[in-house]
Amino acid sequence: MTRSITKKDISRLDEQDPLASRRGQFHLPADTIYLDGNSLGLMSYATQQRVADTTTTQWGEHLITSWNRHNWIQLPQQVGNKIGRLIGVADGQVVCCDSISVNLFKVLAAALQLQPGRNQILSTVDNFPTDLYMVQGLEQLLGASRCHLVMVEESELANSISEKTAAVLATEVNFRTGRRLDLQALTATAQLHGALMIADLAHSAGVMPVELDNWQVDFAIGCTYKYLNGGPGAPAFVYAAKRHHRALQQPLCGWMGHVRPFDFSPHYEAADDMTQFLSGTPPVLSMCAVDAALEAFDGVSLAEVRSKSIQLSELFHSLIEQHGLSNELHLISPTDPVTRGSQLSYRHEHAYGICQALIEAGVIADFRAPDYLRFGFAPLYTSYADVWDAAGVLKDVLASKAHLDPRWQQRNTVT
Ligand SMILES: Cc1ncc(COP(=O)(O)O)c(C=O)c1O
Ligand SMILES: Nc1c(O)cccc1C(=O)C[C@H](N)C(=O)O
């Protein structure tokens, strides 16, 4: 029999954690254990400071001159390159702009244009819905002969790629189950059949090593509000491999993607680099927030982040077992940590009530319909003590039946 985990073990883990000092860079509300960084990351003090400075000094005092004086105009590329370094990409292949949804629309249209004679976008039934909806919207616009969505189970994805597939659209880490696909192998299989690979990195960027250049991924999109801590509604990012830049044509031709926007020409001429992916004016305040948030990654090894992420999630599940809760909470994430992202998902008939009771007791996790309870681990600020305490509160909630409170019969929209 393995020995029980003790509070002393937890203290030792926190003392030996090479990332422990990063936690101090973030604002954590008092009496809160936050296990929802896979939905919305914490605010860093650097971000708070930068937003204050950008509004007070740059916007407040320097007004429109800030586009040059503070280089607002270059923020999409500057922030894009910083994100690129976290996803294994050389400079000039990522820009920060718009939302995942909008960027995906651009990428899908560009990918289809690069694949004459192929109309199929192959994805998974359990992909995050917006990814599927964007393909469906494009299918309506272009007609099924130019764009046709085919959805399969994750386990069938690689086997379903064929000569008809224009692009495979896969989210590396499943938002519901936390299952992680082998993006490198999937890209190789897609390309063997002449298909392009489009990866959604929403649940990967900033929490595990990703090597888009090495893996030869064609396109990627991702958000900055989860593990990159850019803030609510912060702009997303889009990656296109350099080898595609010359032939690329994305359809949301806004003036910021023009080769010379300030010529104000009536004729669109696309920039021949990633700038083409910009459509309209960048949201400067949000983008400054992302830019500052990325400072928390300075000097951080993503291998170390991944290693801690695995240890945190393994610890959490061991504590669930130690507390005798695994008969009640059914783990639906893979048991092998290598094949999952940085979250654990459990099924429970009263998952919503448990989530609400946890929040009331100071532990923020989230609920996903119909009956999933998700716990996210953000190694830059989640401590081993957080995991220990959260598992203890979960045990108390279930023991006291706080989750059966009639108030939780009515579901809220978000958590
Ligand atoms: C995998 C995935 N893709 C996309 C989104 C959302 O995209 P958007 O930035 O357009 O809201 C999310 C979560 O919100 C997600 O988990
Ligand atoms: N983007 C979100 C939002 O604007 C509101 C509430 C939640 C979200 C999310 O990020 C959902 C998230 N992608 C998920 O994995 O469920």
How high is the pLDDT of residue 392? 98
Please write the tens of the pLDDT for every residue from 348-376: 999 999 999 999 999 999 999 999 999 99
In this structure, which residue's CA is closest to atom 14 in ligand 1?
Answer: 39
**Contacts of 324 by beta carbon, 8 Å cutoff, 6+ apart:** none
**Contacts of 235 by beta carbon, 8 Å cutoff, 6+ apart:** 76, 96, 97, 98, 99, 224, 282, 283, 286, 287, 290
How high is the pLDDT of residue 415? 61
Q: Does 1 score more than 60 pLDDT? A: no
Residue 171 CB–ligand 2 contact under 6 Å: no
Confidence of residue 163 (pLDDT cuts 50, 70, 90): very high
Q: Does 414 score more than 70 pLDDT? A: no
Ligand 2: centre distance to CA 71 (Å):
30
Angle, helix 129-142 to helix 100-113, in steps of 10 degrees: 50
How high is the pLDDT of residue 410? 77
How high is the pLDDT of residue 48? 98
Evaluate the CA torsion angle 379, 381, 382, 384 in order and state its sign.
Answer: positive
- Mean pLDDT, rounded, for 269-278: 96
Ligand 1: centre distance to CA 405 (Å):
31
Please write the tens of the pLDDT for every residue from 65-119: 999 999 999 999 999 999 999 999 999 999 999 999 999 999 999 999 999 999 9
Confidence of residue 190 (pLDDT cuts 50, 70, 90): very high
Averaged confidence pLDDT in the chain = 97
Asked if residue 137 lies in contact with residue 112, where contact means CB atoms within 8 angstroms, the answer is no
* Residue to mutate (ligand 2; options 40, 128, 201; most atoms within 8 A of CB): 40
Residue 64 CB–ligand 2 contact under 6 Å: no
Q: Is 187 helix (H, G, I), strand (E, B) or coil?
A: helix
Report the largest interatomic distance among the alpha carbons of the chain, rounded to a whole angstrom: 75
For residue 342, give the ligand nearest its CA: 2
Sheet with strand 366-368: strands edge to edge: 330-331, 343-347, 372-376, 366-368
Considering only residues 3 and 43, tell me which one the structure prediction assigns the higher pLDDT.
43
How high is the pLDDT of residue 75? 98
Catalytic residue positions, numbered: 128, 200, 225-226, 374
Ligand 1: centre distance to CA 230 (Å):
14
Domains and CATH numbers, the chain: 7-30+301-409 (3.90.1150.10), 49-297 (3.40.640.10)
- Cite the beta strand spans of 102-227 per DSSP E: 120-124, 148-152, 165-171, 196-200, 219-222
- Mean pLDDT, rounded, for 307-316: 98
Confidence of residue 411 (pLDDT cuts 50, 70, 90): confident
Q: Cis ω on the peptide bond leading into residue 370 (within 30° of 0)? A: yes
Please write the tens of the pLDDT for every residue from 28-66: 999 999 999 999 999 999 999 999 999 999 999 999 999
In this structure, which residue's CA is closest to atom 13 in ligand 2?
Answer: 39
Please write the tens of the pLDDT for every residue from 191-215: 999 999 999 999 999 999 999 999 9
Ligand 1: centre distance to CA 129 (Å):
8
Q: Which atom of ligand 2 is nearest to the CA of 39?
A: 10
How high is the pLDDT of residue 267? 98
Going by the annotation, the residues of the binding site for pyridoxal 5'-phosphate are 100-101, 128-131, 171, 200, 203, 225, 255, 281
Report the half-sphere exposure of 356 (CA within 13 A, side-chain side): 19
Angle, helix 75-86 to helix 284-293, in steps of 10 degrees: 30
Find the DSSP H helices in 170-301: 183-192, 212-215, 284-293
The model's pTM: 0.97
Residue 175 CB–ligand 2 contact under 6 Å: yes
Which ipTM did the prediction report? 0.97
Residue 39 CB–ligand 2 contact under 6 Å: yes
How high is the pLDDT of residue 2? 75
Tell me which residues have their CB closer than 6 angstroms to ligand 1: 99-101, 128, 130-131, 171, 175, 200, 202-203, 223, 236
Ligand 2: centre distance to CA 175 (Å):
9
Please spell the DSSP secondary structure of 313-365, one letter per residue.
HHHHHHHHHHTT-TTTSEE-S-SSGGGB-SEEEEE-TTHHHHHHHHHHTTEE-
The total of other beta-carbon atoms located within 10 Å of residue 284's CB is 18
Please write the tens of the pLDDT for every residue from 167-186: 999 999 999 999 999 999 99
